Structure 1
Amino acid sequence: MTTNNTTNRMIKYGTNVVVGTILFLAVLVALNFFATKSRVRIDLTRSKQYTISEATRRILSSLKDRVNVTVYATMQETPPDWTEQRNQLFDLLQEYRVASRGKVYFTFKDPSADPKIEQEAQQKGIREQTMQKVGTTEINLKAGYLGFVVDYKGKTETVPALRPEQSVEYQLTRAINKAAQVNVPTVGIIAPSGNPFFGEQGKYDLVPRYIEEEGYKIKNLEASKLDLKDVDLLMIFEPEDFSEETLYKIDQYVMKGGKLFVAASGADINPQTGRATAKVPNINSILEYYGMHVNGDLLEDWGRALPRLYRTQRGFVRGPDPFFIGVVDFPSTNSLITKDLTGLILIYPSSVSPSSHGTSGTLEVLARTSPLTKRQESFFMIDPEKLKKPPKSECDSYNVAMMVSGKLDSRYAVVDPPVVTNDDGTTRAVLASEVIRESDPKAAVVVFSCPLAFHSEVISPTSDGVVNAIFLLNVADALTRGGEMISLRTKQAGVAVLRSDITPAQAIIAQVIVIGSVPVVLIILGLVRLFYNKMKRIRYREIYGA
């Protein structure tokens, strides 16, 4: 009888342990399921890598229909950085699904494992890349894929390959915004064009490409036939001497609350001949009344001069050139355009200063040179070999970018408006009663006194001057979208970690804890229950006897 009782108790207790374990695992599965569905998340990473920004949330909440994201990613034997980006993309897509209330759907496909999927990926524009896996004794190279396609109501946007220098969230949100057309302002651009008959490309050809990649519509404009209808932001690079009619149209566009960006120099520079002459653009005539003025000068900054290779009588020499400047001084702490900017690269800059007219709007200095800057006026010397470092008494800090916003004055409140051309080609005189003399408070104007900073060879993705392109994108975003993409654009891409100084031993301990925590908890619970039952049996013997 005793043997049977012992057997029964073992079966009973064994059954209890099994049932308890199953229930515990079921609770864990249920908690994990509801956690993935919950909108509440806790991000313990130092850089908040898994916390999606308010800009992303606004775009996702504005989606009217389902968004399908197809990720083409090599899943096996990938280097750590590829694995991290792939995992981060998966985690972010889960967050996007929750934040969009189920409108974001996603699937992962491995082109490296199936030739049909590989062909599908290539047809959709996903680019094969070379993965580099560094071992202790060798470097292994392997072809792989890591890109995605966003589809929204038949409109697709392809990211051929994730760019490691940009955050995954920025690339994903930008693609969804472009495909879904959630917020797509129109940017009008006036810039010198190349001569196609001689195979010349425009000096600013990369500017519209950068802006269009951000989800803007581009409208290329001619100064002589200016049509600013539906333009949310007007960008002017290296302005020629505009006609009075063109100046009037630009001015009245601003008076209606328009946004204007002007990149203009106060000097005409020819680096090949080593000559420069003062040439103040006549767009100053309307900028004066807004509160700013581009000066007819050149700045040589000896405090932030960048080294470069230039030709001399002795051959090529590498040394600091005070006309090639790295700007890091951004005085306006509240400006969305520059608050997260790491720097700018200027080439033969002029200065921009408050005008004598003054302004009724809010004037901000966005960027300026170092205090070791000499200003050249009237007579220009741009040969770096002939320049001498000036004494501090001849130096000062000068503004190179300024912004004014709010209620601005029109030049044509005191100057007679010009004759304008109608759509049918006829001309007419503008009545004084038609002129808007004070702008809508939403008006904003940014002046940058170094157009060379936006030449295509300067802002190429492979050059250091790509930071200037980021400045342009920040201008467009701040003036048309309220700056919602700026925080994403400047968000650092990187590996999400809890601590940057963790040692290998600590990493092993952490892995053991994470992997072994569930079995350990189950064992502890089993021992607790065993001890409890043993104590209960002892208590029963004391009460009822053997």
Structure 2
Amino acid sequence: MKTTSRRSVPLLALALLAIAFVALVSLSSVALRGARVDLTEQGLYTLSEGTLGILAKVEDPVTLKLYYSEHATRDLQAFRGYATRVRELLEEIAARSDGKVSVQVIDPEPFSEAEDQAAALGLRSLRVPGTGDQLYFGLVASNSTDGESLMPFIQPDKEAFLEYDVAKLISSLGGAGRPVVGLVSGLPMGPRMDPSGAQDPGWVLDRQIRDLFELRRFQGMPASIASDVDLLMVVHPKDVPEQTLVAIDQFVMRGGRLLVFVDPDAEADQSALNPLDTLAVSPPQASSLGPLFQAWGIHFDPARVVLDERHALQVQPDPNGPPVRHLAVLGLGSESLNQDDVVTAGLGVLNFSTAGALGLSRESTLRMEPLVQSSLRAALADAAAVRDAVGDPELLREDFRPGNEALVLAARFTGELKSAFPGRGEGHLDASDGPVNLLVVADTDLLTDRLWVQVQAFLGQPVYDAFANNGDFVFNVVDNLVGNADLISVRTRQPSARPFTRVEDIRRGAEARYRSTEQRLQQQIDELEQQLGALQQTGADGQAQAVTPAQQAEILRFQEERLRMRKELRDVQHRLNADIESLGDRLKLLNILGMPALVVLVALLVSWRRWARRRAAEA
């Protein structure tokens, strides 16, 4: 009886441990609900403060429906990984919403009701190459009052904008109508009659803005800005009267968003031309919001133009001459754009022409975040000198001295502000009602069609062929600034895919070490071949000339030297990837032996501790 009782003790202990484990898991699922730890280097699963602010303001519960064709991606492992990333982000949003957001994942299988729903909602499908399956990967957000908002297809190459797009989708459910963009422009951006009497539809950017937003044009310089304007867009402000400056100042103090395009040399400004003098050429004019900029601590010199040797584009001032690089006409790539801000992240090229530079005074209460910068091979030049060099851009190189400092061409300014016109009486705000959000671009020419798009007619309809991302940049800025403050603060994210940066560093180092040797050897081989060719020249009659024994020995020596150098060149080319192959071998060895070695080490450590305890007990 005692033996049976003793045998049942371990079984009873195991049963009690199992019950305790289940109870502990159940308790932790309740007590620790919502507790998460993000251990990823890039904080992939940590929502930004802006997204959390949007979730806190959700009043009507939101349902997020992710339509994802699981079977269609069975052979697309990279896409399946991205789909998991999207699903996890949505689940994190739901977990941090206090029950205000729920997530549903729907698989629209072929010929199913879910597929019909996806098509009816306007989601876009792609045909998978090789299988012909239809792939749906879209998101629909809905509540009980505002209908539905959707992302027709979640593109993997836009992963940096994923959190921003989802937050915008949720935020848009509480909106009412299209945002209002107020436009004060000193340039002919909108529809007008051209000199021949035909209707000109205006610049492409102007058309896109009025298609997507409610564009309200101010005639002349306004004395007040209505409270329903979500964004005030000021383009090329010249000779701005004080009443308009006060109106802009108070709009900003009330929390309105301001987008300003100023220019030291606006080439599209022909306002000073005499309409009766068709041969007159008026020099472009400068623009600024001087009194406001000075009071707010924003530096902008309307008489200075940015020159950049590295990003200079080719122009052809003389139709009969060769193209030359113009130091004031710039093509700025992704390395010059702020990849942490949603308005510039992911853009390819922005084209500027005779742009100015922005800065911030030490006394300013604002914080400047550069969005577009020049290279270090940049300097400032007088706008008058740039205009004088229109016919010969090479003149700009004569006094060009790079300052080894990047110049800011566009920037976002945020923070608390004091009014530039304090003490104006009742109803006048002397300080901003919360942090302001301003965006200033020191160029207006980037808005013109000639710098980013070609317009052609096809079957009576305009077709836009963009060769730069100027339009995307301006649309991103407007779309971002008309959103609420929480949405503006949502940042872009680094992609979840981890590139082999160590391999790339080794590759660049190897190329730096061996490229010079390779070039030296190739140059020596070229020189030897020229010498061989000189020794083996033919005569005037086309017959080979007789060579002396000394020349024959020299030819043989040259040929042997050429063979030796070619062999050395091949060795250099092979060594180019030796470091990368060595790293791969080390990684394989670590993967194969590292974990087993770690397990053995832990086992030995546990065994040693048990042996030490047993020996201590026996002593």
Fold shared per TM-score above 0.5: yes
2:173 matches 1:179: yes
Distance 1:494 1:17 in 2: 45
Which residue does 1:452 correspond to in 2?
Answer: 445
Q: Is the 8 A contact 1:126 1:147 kept in 2?
A: yes
Structure 2 SS opposite 1:277: coil
Q: Structure 2: which amino acid aligns with 1:493?
A: P
User: After superposition, where does 1:394-409 map in structure 2 within 5 Å?
Assistant: 400-401=409-410, 403=413, 406-409=417-420
- Higher share of residues assigned helix: 2
User: After superposition, where does 1:137-286 map in structure 2 within 5 Å?
Assistant: 142-155=133-146, 156-164=148-156, 165-167=158-160, 168-181=162-175, 188-191=182-185, 192-195=189-192, 198=199, 200-205=201-206, 208=209, 220-224=216-220, 227-231=225-229, 233-239=231-237, 246-254=244-252, 258-269=256-267, 277-281=283-287, 283-284=289-290
Which residue does 1:543 correspond to in 2?
Answer: none
Aligned-pair distance for 1:373? Answer: 2.0
Distance 1:488 1:171 in 2: 10
Which residue does 1:100 correspond to in 2?
Answer: 97
Identify unmatched segments of 5+ residues in structure 1.
133-138, 414-431, 518-523, 525-546
* TM-superposition CA deviations, 1:52-75 (whole Å, max 9, x none): 222222222222221111111111
Q: Is the 8 A contact 1:188 1:228 kept in 2?
A: no
Aligned-pair distance for 1:463? Answer: 4.3
Distance 1:63 1:409 in 2: 36
Distance 1:60 1:179 in 2: 12
Task: Select which of 118, 124, 129 maps to 2:126.
Answer: 129
* TM-superposition CA deviations, 1:479-507 (whole Å, max 9, x none): 961xx445644212333799998989699
Q: Is the 8 A contact 2:343 2:473 kept in 1?
A: no
* TM-superposition CA deviations, 1:157-201 (whole Å, max 9, x none): 11001122234322222211111349x986534353234973624
Task: Select which of 475, 478, 481 maps to 1:476.
Answer: 481
Aligned-pair distance for 1:433? Answer: 5.7
Q: Structure 2: which amino acid aligns with 1:205?
A: D
Greater shift, 275-284 or 155-164, is seen at 275-284
User: After superposition, where does 1:526-545 map in structure 2 within 5 Å?
Assistant: none
Q: Structure 2: which amino acid aligns with 1:406?
A: L
TM-score (norm 1): 0.65
Q: Is the 8 A contact 1:341 1:490 kept in 2?
A: no
Which residue does 1:347 correspond to in 2?
Answer: 352
Identify unmatched segments of 5+ residues in structure 2.
271-278, 454-464, 504-582, 604-619
Greater shift, 75-84 or 467-476, is seen at 467-476
Q: Structure 1: which amino acid aligns with 2:397?
A: K
2:332 matches 1:326: yes
Q: Structure 1: which amino acid aligns with 2:492?
A: T
Aligned length: 468
Aligned-pair distance for 1:109? Answer: 1.7
Structure 2 SS opposite 1:94: helix
Q: Is the 8 A contact 2:357 2:442 kept in 1?
A: yes
Alpha carbons of structure 1 residues 26 and 152: separation in structure 2 relative to 1, 3 Å: same
Q: Structure 2: which amino acid aligns with 1:407?
A: K
What is the RMSD computed on CA atoms of the aligned residues? Answer: 5.5
Which residue does 1:429 correspond to in 2?
Answer: none
User: After superposition, where does 1:487-502 map in structure 2 within 5 Å?
Assistant: 488-495=490-497
Alpha carbons of structure 1 residues 480 and 109: separation in structure 2 relative to 1, 3 Å: closer
Relative contact order: is structure 1 or structure 2 higher (C-alpha 8 Å, sep ≥ 6)?
Answer: 1
Which residue does 1:82 correspond to in 2?
Answer: 79
Q: Is the 8 A contact 1:474 1:486 kept in 2?
A: no
Alpha carbons of structure 1 residues 339 and 163: separation in structure 2 relative to 1, 3 Å: closer
Structure 1 SS opposite 2:139: strand
TM-score (norm 2): 0.59
* TM-superposition CA deviations, 1:302-353 (whole Å, max 9, x none): 3441556768646885967541143899999xx9899999998351143256
Q: Structure 2: which amino acid aligns with 1:129?
A: L
Alpha carbons of structure 1 residues 67 and 337: separation in structure 2 relative to 1, 3 Å: closer
Q: Is the 8 A contact 2:308 2:379 kept in 1?
A: yes
Aligned-pair distance for 1:408? Answer: 3.5
Which residue does 2:365 correspond to in 1?
Answer: 362
Distance 1:347 1:278 in 2: 15
Distance 1:32 1:316 in 2: 75
Aligned-pair distance for 1:388? Answer: 5.2
Alpha carbons of structure 1 residues 160 and 329: separation in structure 2 relative to 1, 3 Å: closer
Q: Structure 2: which amino acid aligns with 1:124?
A: L
Distance 1:480 1:251 in 2: 20
Greater shift, 89-98 or 195-204, is seen at 195-204
Task: Select which of 389, 407, 429 maps to 2:397.
Answer: 389
Distance 2:425 2:15 in 1: 87
Distance 1:499 1:347 in 2: 32
Structure 1 SS opposite 2:116: helix
Alpha carbons of structure 1 residues 310 and 435: separation in structure 2 relative to 1, 3 Å: farther
Structure 2 SS opposite 1:60: helix
Distance 2:591 2:17 in 1: 27
Alpha carbons of structure 1 residues 58 and 34: separation in structure 2 relative to 1, 3 Å: same
Q: Structure 2: which amino acid aligns with 1:375?
A: A
* TM-superposition CA deviations, 1:18-76 (whole Å, max 9, x none): 979986995797489559x7111122322221222222222222222211111111111
Q: Structure 1: which amino acid aligns with 2:149?
A: E
Aligned-pair distance for 1:87? Answer: 1.5
Alpha carbons of structure 1 residues 338 and 409: separation in structure 2 relative to 1, 3 Å: same
Distance 2:40 2:402 in 1: 49
Aligned-pair distance for 1:118? Answer: 1.9
Q: Is the 8 A contact 2:291 2:420 kept in 1?
A: no
Q: What is the aligned-residue identity percentage?
A: 18
Alpha carbons of structure 1 residues 83 and 469: separation in structure 2 relative to 1, 3 Å: farther
Task: Select which of 39, 42, 62 maps to 2:37.
Answer: 42
Aligned-pair distance for 1:222? Answer: 1.6
* TM-superposition CA deviations, 1:73-95 (whole Å, max 9, x none): 11114122321222122222222
Aligned-pair distance for 1:286? Answer: 5.3
Structure 2 SS opposite 1:49: coil
Which residue does 1:55 correspond to in 2?
Answer: 50
